[in-house]
Amino acid sequence: MTLYICIDDRALLRDVKAVWSRFQSSIRLPFAWSSLEFSQGVPIAQLAGVERVRAGAFVLRISPRLLLSPDWEIRLTLLHECLHLAAIAGPLSAMYDAKDELQRAQDMAKADLLQRYGQREFTPEQYQQYFEADHRRWTLAMNLANQLYEVDAEFALRRQYPECALDRARYYCRLRAETVSWDSYHHPYRPYAVLYERLRVDLALALSEEWQEDGMTLRTVLDREIAGCDPKVRDRIDELEQLLSPRRADFALLSEWGGDTYRDVVTRTIKQLSESLRPEPQ
């Protein structure tokens, strides 16, 4: 495996090398690399993230914010990303193929929309409206489907690194309590945003004994949101939850059904949201 470790600010490459070397000497990596390179890359919103650049080559992107984090947070974050990487390079590679394929189709649809706008098929207001709707439903669909990777990585950490499991579970629960948010979402996106938060709370509940009370309080608030939805929407949310929730699905089988389920969640969410958003370009 070729591994590229990137940061957007060239001046920080030396710090990234130091952080990686400390991390690597303190832990047994969940994959083996044959070539390792440090280089400048594109910025990312999260603390860190991984991607496949081509067969056998992966990039681990690090945000400058991670370098400012305490050592324990750097270690847990890098370990989590390394577990994602081991999964997409190994048992979940078919799921990653599905993700790649959907991303390519999405890029083409976006280019097509822009081209049609260039040919004056829509007014600037219509273009803006279609673009935003497309972006919102795509983001929600990806968030939901990517939750499959998150469950996989958290369970893998618990299984393969039991010495880090308690700290990671506490960290994950703290993130849930601090970042839970769906208020900026309105019809028809809101129930999907609530489902996303509920899946993350369910994962935290599956990981931590200590968080049961706080987690269940938060879950009750989210449940109430879903209970207030139109019954048809509620059924759709329930179907998606069957596929994605660590409470409902058997994640031991993820490597077998991951590709199809990933595709199914993304296409279903986009279709359902599109149906609620007429009129759309034909």
Q: Tokens 């219509």 sit at which residue? A: 126
Residues 42-71, one symbol each (x = binds Zn ion by CB under 5 A, - = not), give ------------------------------
Tell me the C-alpha to C-alpha distance, in Å, between residue 265 and each of 82, 197, 258.
Answer: 25, 16, 10
- Near Zn ion by CB under 5 A, which window of 112-120, 144-152, 161-169, 232-240? 144-152
Residue whose CB is less far from Zn ion, 134 or 150? 150
What is the closest distance, in whole angstroms, from the C-beta atom of residue 50 to Zn ion in the complex? Answer: 8
Residue whose CB is less far from Zn ion, 148 or 195? 148
What is the closest distance, in whole angstroms, from the C-beta atom of residue 49 to Zn ion in the complex? Answer: 8
- Near Zn ion by CB under 5 A, which window of 25-33, 71-79, 147-155, 227-235? 147-155
Residue whose CB is less far from Zn ion, 80 or 198? 80
Residue whose CB is less far from Zn ion, 3 or 233? 3
246 phi/psi in degrees, rounded to 5: -65, -15
Amino acid letter, 22: R
Size of the site for Zn ion (CB under 5 A): 1
Q: Tokens 């822009």 sit at which residue? A: 114
Amino acid letter, 48: A
Residue whose CB is less far from Zn ion, 150 or 202? 150
Residue whose CB is less far from Zn ion, 150 or 197? 150
Q: Please, which residues bridge with residue 138 across strands?
A: none
C-alpha atoms less than 13 angstroms from C-alpha of 16 in its C-beta half-sphere: 24
Task: Quickly count: other Cβ atoms within 10 Å of residue 76's Cβ.
Answer: 20
What is the closest distance, in whole angstroms, from the C-beta atom of residue 235 to Zn ion in the complex? Answer: 29
For 204-222, b/e burial (b = at least 16 CB within 10 A) is: bbbbbeebeebbeebbeeb
Residues 149-188, one symbol each (x = binds Zn ion by CB under 5 A, - = not), give -x--------------------------------------
What is the closest distance, in whole angstroms, from the C-beta atom of residue 64 to Zn ion in the complex? Answer: 19
Residues 6 or more apart whose Cβ sits within 8 Å of residue 188: 233, 273, 276, 277
Residues that bind Zn ion (CB under 5 A): 150
